[in-house]
Structure formats: structure tokens, C-alpha cells
């Protein structure tokens, strides 16, 4: 059984979760992803893996995570972050469940809204938004925590005006931006 050593400190989030200070980002990592993730975890002590739906590598990461856990890395020692893409704002729970399936996990440590840009219909006369307002989308994110599908919810690339709007009505504040 492997007992790889974690090699960085952690910071406690408002939820009580402890996030490793150093994480492995997987953007543009679509070749040999499984091998890279396994080596990062087993050989180099990484515990925080960061991915996103839009990176198109969640399934390969899931295979690597499953193999690492099979040789002794405890799930609770890992911190897995993934992000929902704008195109999935219409079905946040469905997108989360699909990420869980691909990652082969029962929960996600941090689920983020990626690139918080309000999609507008520029063909309409008044450039109408094509998704609900962010505060309503955030309520759906909070529901994921309530269902124990995710431990923390967060935003990525959120502007100050968007953050102020979101904070005005949220029950669970974003863990990070």
C-alpha cells in the first residue's frame, strides 16, 4: 500500500474544509492526463487537483483518482476542484452530477462557476440575458451543498459588481474567487 506524503500546507475555508495551498491545474492537459495526475499525487505529494468541464479532461482525471485511491490515497486527503461552464448554467445540478460521474467521485470539494460572464442575446433588441440572474444560479449552487454533492461552492473570474450582487442574497458565501 502506498502512503505518499502531502507536501504543502493547507488553509481553512469558512466551511471548515482545508484546501491545499498548492494545486495542480489541468487546463490544456489532454494528453497523458491520467499519468500526469497519478505522478503528481503519488510521486510529488499533490492533493489539490483543479479541472473544469470545459477542459475536457475530467474523465481521465477520474481514472487517475480512482487508481490513486486504490493504492492507498484516502479520498478525504484529496481536494478536487472543478468548474461549471456558462453553457451548463441551465442545468447546474445535472452538470455537477456529470462531473461527479466523470471524476468517479461521490462529492466534489469545490465546485465553481467558471468565467462569470452574463450571456447576452445580442440579436434581441434589448440584449436580453440568456440565463437567469446570478443570484438565482447561486441558489442552485447552494442546493448542491445541501444535497452533499459538493463541500464548497465558489466563483472564478467574478467581477466586484457581480460579487456584490451575489453576496446581497446568498446564504452560502463563495469560498474563493
Which of the residues 55, 89, 107, 135 is marked catalytic? 55
Closest CA to 38 of 54, 8, 60: 60
Q: Is the pLDDT at 1 greater than 50, yes or no?
A: no
pLDDT higher than threshold 70 for residue 59: yes
Mean pLDDT of the chain: 91
Q: Quick one: which of 13, 12, 160, 43 has its CA closest to 24?
A: 43
Whole-number Å distance between alpha carbons of 75 and 95? 21
pTM of the model: 0.91
Dihedral Cα 19, 27, 66, 34, nearest 10 deg = -140
What is the C-alpha separation between 81 and 22, in angstroms, rounded? 12
Q: Give the residue with greater pLDDT, 47 vs 6.
A: 47
- Please give the pLDDT value at position 66: 98
Could you tell me if 135 and 89 are in contact, meaning their C-beta atoms sit under 8 angstroms apart?
no
The beta-strand segments (E) located in the chain are: 10-12, 18-20, 23-25, 48-50, 79-84, 108-113, 150-155
- 56 pLDDT more than 70: yes
- What is the length of the chain? 177
Task: Look at the block and give the residue holding cell 447546474.
Answer: 92
> Which one has a higher pLDDT value, 92 or 165?
92
The answer to whether 55 is a known catalytic residue is: yes
Which residues are 50's β-sheet partners?
25, 81
Average pLDDT over residues 83-97: 93
Amino acid at each position: 500500500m502506498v502512503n505518499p506524503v502531502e507536501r504543502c500546507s493547507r488553509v481553512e475555508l469558512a466551511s471548515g474544509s482545508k484546501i491545499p495551498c498548492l494545486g495542480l491545474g489541468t487546463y490544456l492537459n489532454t494528453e497523458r492526463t491520467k499519468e500526469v495526475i497519478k505522478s503528481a499525487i503519488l510521486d510529488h505529494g499533490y492533493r489539490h487537483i483543479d479541472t473544469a468541464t470545459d477542459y475536457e479532461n475530467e474523465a481521465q482525471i477520474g481514472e487517475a483518482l480512482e487508481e490513486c485511491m486504490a493504492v492507498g490515497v484516502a479520498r478525504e486527503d484529496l481536494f478536487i476542484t472543478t468548474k461549471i461552464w456558462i453553457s451548463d448554467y441551465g442545468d447546474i445540478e445535472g452538470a455537477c452530477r456529470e462531473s461527479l460521474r466523470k471524476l468517479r467521485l461521490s462529492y466534489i470539494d469545490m465546485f465553481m462557476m467558471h468565467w462569470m460572464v452574463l450571456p447576452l442575446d445580442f440579436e434581441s433588441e434589448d440584449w436580453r440575458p440568456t440565463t437567469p440572474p446570478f443570484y438565482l444560479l447561486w441558489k442552485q449552487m447552494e442546493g448542491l451543498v445541501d444535497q452533499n454533492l459538493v463541500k464548497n461552492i465558489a466563483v472564478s473570474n467574478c467581477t466586484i459588481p457581480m460579487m456584490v450582487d451575489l453576496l446581497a442574497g446568498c446564504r452560502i458565501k463563495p469560498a474563493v474567487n
